[in-house]
Structure 1
Amino acid sequence: MKSNIFVVAAVAVCLSSCGFTVPVAVISSNGEVMRGTATAAVSGGSFTVAGKLKGKETKCAGTYNALDQSVTISMPVQCSDGRKGFVIATREANKVDGSGRVRLNDGTEADFVFGKAAAAF
Structure 2
Amino acid sequence: MFQVKKSFIRAAVVAAGLLALGACDTAYPVTVIGQDGTTFRGAATNTFLHGGSFQATNGNATCTGTYDKFADITTVSFPVICNNGLRGIGTAFFQSETAGSGFVTMSDGSKWQFLFGRGALAI
TM range (shorter): 0.7 to 0.9
Match of 2:56 among 49, 69, 79: 49
Check conservation: 1:23, 1:35, Cα contact below 8 A.
Answer: yes
Q: Displaced runs of 4+ in structure 1, greater than 3 A?
A: 2-9, 66-69
> What is the 5 A alignment of 1:30-109?
30-44=36-50, 45-51=52-58, 57-67=60-70, 69-92=72-95, 94-109=96-111
Check conservation: 1:34, 1:50, Cα contact below 8 A.
Answer: yes
Work out the CA distance in 2 between the residues paired with 1:103 and 1:11.
Answer: 39
The corresponding residue for 2:3 is none
- What amino acid does structure 1 have at the position aligned with 2:27? T
Unpaired runs of 5+ residues, structure 2, are 1-5
Work out the CA distance in 2 between the residues paired with 1:4 and 1:42.
Answer: 25
Partner of 1:117, secondary structure, is: helix
Which has the higher mean CA deviation after the structures are superposed, 64-73 or 104-113? 64-73
| Matched residues, number | 116
Identity fraction in percent? 37
Q: Is 1:111 the counterpart of 2:116 in the alignment?
A: no
Work out the CA distance in 2 between the residues paired with 1:8 and 1:51.
Answer: 40
- What amino acid does structure 1 have at the position aligned with 2:63? C
* TM-score computed with the length of structure 2 as normaliser: 0.80
The corresponding residue for 1:22 is 28
- Higher-Rg member (1/2): 2
Shift of 1:32: 1.8
Partner of 2:97, secondary structure, is: coil
* TM-score computed with the length of structure 1 as normaliser: 0.81
Seen in structure 2, the aligned counterparts of structure 1 residues 79 and 43 have a Cα distance that, compared at 3 Å, is: same
- What amino acid does structure 1 have at the position aligned with 2:61? T
Partner of 1:11, secondary structure, is: helix
